[in-house]
Amino acid sequence: MTQDNSKSHIIYRGDILIVDDTPENLKFLSKTLAEQQYKVRSVTDGVMALRVAQAAPINLILLDVRMPGMDGYEVCSRLKQHENTKHIPIIFISALDDMIDKVKAFNVGGVDYITKPFHVEEVLARIETHITLEAAKTEILKLNSELENRVRQRTHQLEKEISARQQAQEQLLHLALHDALTELPNRVLFMKQLGRILEQSKQNSEHHFAVLLLDCDHFKVVNDSLGHVVGDRLLIAVARRIQTCLPPGVMLARLGGDEFAILIEEDTPHGDRALELASRIQTELGYPFQLGSQENFTNVSVGIVLSHQNYEQPEHLLRDADSAMYQAKARGKASQQIFDPRMYTQAIVRLQMETDLRRAIEREEFILYYQPIICLKTGKVAGLEALIRWEHPNQGLLLPGEFLPIAQDSDLMSQIDTWVLRQACLQLKHWQENKNLQDSIFMSTNLSVHNFLQGDITEKISNILIETGVSGHCLELEITEESIIRNPGRVNSILNELKNRNIKFSIDDFGTGYSSLSYLHQFSVDSLKIDRSFIESIVPNGSSTHNTQIAQTIVQLAENLHLSVIAEGIETREQLSVLEELDCTYGQGYYFSRPLPAEAALKFLMYCQQSG
């Protein structure tokens, strides 16, 4: 044992306390030990010994057995009882004549004994041994506690690592079962849950449930025209709004793209809760979405499938919900439909139709019919509206209502619109050059929302004009209120760009869409086409019906905004009279002519030119 005493710069081998009532002994031992570089303290009775041992650092005590007052055994056992002193090795000293009770000495905690007279070497050897032993013991204790500490730390670290690993695993599991964009359960989790509930309903025929498949209407338009970032934000907003409609415990999942699914337990096999929920969601989604400074619209078409004993696999339920959803879509925006097995056939027909449609574009099975637009003031043909037909190889001539909805859903629409525009321009140019058609007669074509908001639309149209040699003032493009409302800013810039080419614009089916009359003055459109539904029930001779009033309002509104009005779907002389009275500029409808194939349309034009 070494110790640095800074005062004397002596390196001590240890602190030793000598307790003996015989002064000669004390003197002899002190001297001998001091010579050996021990630091020595000496006391002559037990009480003092206890006091010093408490106060100073002591490495070893030489303790006389026999002393007046407290004897050595007593001192030893007291030292051993005390926390601070119990570790100090104690060597008993005894005279040869008083026999030491060795057993007692060891029992009270002594480590050794020496008898007088002292053999210096022996005394030193024993002291040295016990000091070293004690030092080794202390060292071991220290190492031990360090080791324990380290084990404790490692355990702690391991626990942390394990919990981090568990967390990571849970996170991975969460990721695998949830959609990253909306954080809703994904298809995998939905199918699992659906499988579970299907099992339960198999075991208990009273257990009914329904699956709702929700698909956003015209979502592709949003993505194509406003970009994916806006599309994503809209999807998140839609998800949140649907969630607010859900009763507690009902699962909403995002299956992918713009498709969501809901699993709901039912009290009856009739799907009452599902239908009610679908309506509530559609009502909620009817309000515009405010994304930043922009207002957006989207709603969902909902297909519903009800649980049935015949279902064996969750996939089949989803497949049927999908068929029902398509039926709903075909009926128009924001509809709902419960699956009926007859839909299988319809779904197959639909699929076939889609395949046929793709081929139709390649094989050019489309043709255009032309319906004259008449100036009501002069009775002359002012223009023609090009309307598409499909000469289907097996089904004969199909009207747009029979195939355009499918084209819209399968992104064939913009190809079709482009084809129509080119074809109509080619036809017009041909008539102008070869049949002396006056160039005051314009050609009108329909542009669907899909096409209209696409990035390259102005370039596409300009190219077609250049390619066909038709001048812009001979072209009128019909767009719907929906295209405008979808993205007013973009529409405005497209309109202005195309205005530079003198192309005219009209708003088709006016009055049926969002009918936000207030926005009209912001857009450079040239005319409004009053929807057929308002013309249909016009009654002459002043008995002003609601519809006559609407027609009148639209005509007046157009007048104020310096727009011309085209009344669509005029079928009778009476309807025409009312419109003439209202001072409507143009008319179109079966009363004048049905849409005609090119040949017949030309004949009609020539006849009017001659007779006019």
Query: x/- contact string, 517-556, with Ca ion (CB under 5 A)?
Result: ----------------------------------------
504, two tokens: 């005219």
509 binds ligand C2E (CB under 6 A): yes
Find out whether 564 and 527 touch, Cβ atoms under 8 Å: yes
248 binds ligand C2E (CB under 6 A): no
427 binds ligand C2E (CB under 6 A): no
249 binds, among ligand C2E, Ca ion, none (CB under 5 to 8 A by kind): none
Query: x/- contact string, 543-582, with ligand C2E (CB under 6 A)?
Result: -------------------------xxxx-----------
Within positions 517 to 536, which residues make up the interface with ligand C2E, using CB under 6 A?
532
371 binds, among ligand C2E, Ca ion, none (CB under 5 to 8 A by kind): ligand C2E
Cα separation, 327 vs 329, in Å, equals 5
Q: Which of 478, 484, 588, 595 binds Ca ion (CB under 5 A)?
A: 478
CB-nearer residue toward ligand C2E: 201 or 371: 371
Count of CB atoms situated within 10 Å of the CB of 37: 13
Q: Residue 510 half-sphere exposure, CB side, CA atoms within 13 Å?
A: 28
Query: x/- contact string, 147-176, with ligand C2E (CB under 6 A)?
Result: ------------------------------
- Alpha helices in 178-256, H assignment, sequence order: 187-203, 219-226, 228-245
Secondary structure (3-state) at 93: strand
Task: Kindly tell me the burial class for residue 392, based on how many C-beta atoms sit within 10 Å of its own C-beta (0-12, 13-18, 19 or more).
Answer: middle
Which residues are CB-contacts of 156 (< 8 A; sequence separation ≥ 6)? none
CB-nearer residue toward Ca ion: 90 or 485: 485
Helices (H) and strands (E) in the chain, counts: 21, 24
Q: Where are the beta strands (DSSP E) in 399-452?
A: 442-446
* H or E segment and range at residue 361: helix 343-363
- In one letter, which amino acid is 24? E
Cβ of residue 564: shortest distance to ligand C2E, in angstroms?
17
CB-nearer residue toward Ca ion: 71 or 536: 536
Query: x/- contact string, 362-401, with ligand C2E (CB under 6 A)?
Result: ---------x---------------xx----------xxx
Of 414, 417, 437, the closest CA to residue 427 belongs to 437
CB-nearer residue toward ligand C2E: 328 or 447: 447
Q: Which of 409, 417, 481, 509 binds Ca ion (CB under 5 A)?
A: 509
Of 531, 577, 598, the closest CA to residue 384 belongs to 598
Cα separation, 234 vs 228, in Å, equals 9
Cα separation, 92 vs 111, in Å, equals 8
How open is the CA angle 221-519-420, to the nearest 5 degrees?
45
Q: Which of 258, 508, 534, 563 binds ligand C2E (CB under 6 A)?
A: 508
- In one letter, which amino acid is 473? H
Find the part of the chain contacting ligand C2E (CB under 6 A) among 152-160, 161-169, 435-443, 588-596: 588-596
Find the part of the chain contacting ligand C2E (CB under 6 A) among 70-78, 251-259, 300-308, 441-449: 441-449
Only one residue has tokens 């006056």, namely: 438
CB-nearer residue toward ligand C2E: 198 or 404: 404
CB-nearer residue toward Ca ion: 46 or 383: 383
State the maximum Cα–Cα separation within the chain, in Å, rounded to a whole number. 162
> How would you classify the pairing of strands 15-19 and 39-43?
parallel
Within positions 428 to 457, which residues make up the interface with Ca ion, using CB under 5 A?
446
388 binds, among ligand C2E, Ca ion, none (CB under 5 to 8 A by kind): ligand C2E
Find the part of the chain contacting Ca ion (CB under 5 A) among 162-170, 240-248, 300-308, 507-515: 507-515
Task: Kindly tell me the burial class for residue 476, based on how many C-beta atoms sit within 10 Å of its own C-beta (0-12, 13-18, 19 or more).
Answer: buried
603, two tokens: 């004949």
Cα separation, 283 vs 301, in Å, equals 12
401 binds, among Ca ion, ligand C2E, none (CB under 5 to 8 A by kind): ligand C2E
Cβ of residue 399: shortest distance to ligand C2E, in angstroms?
4
Sites of contact with ligand C2E (CB under 6 A) = 371, 387-388, 399-401, 404, 417, 420, 446-448, 478, 508-509, 532, 568-571, 588-590, 595
Residues that bind Ca ion (CB under 5 A): 446, 478, 508-509, 568
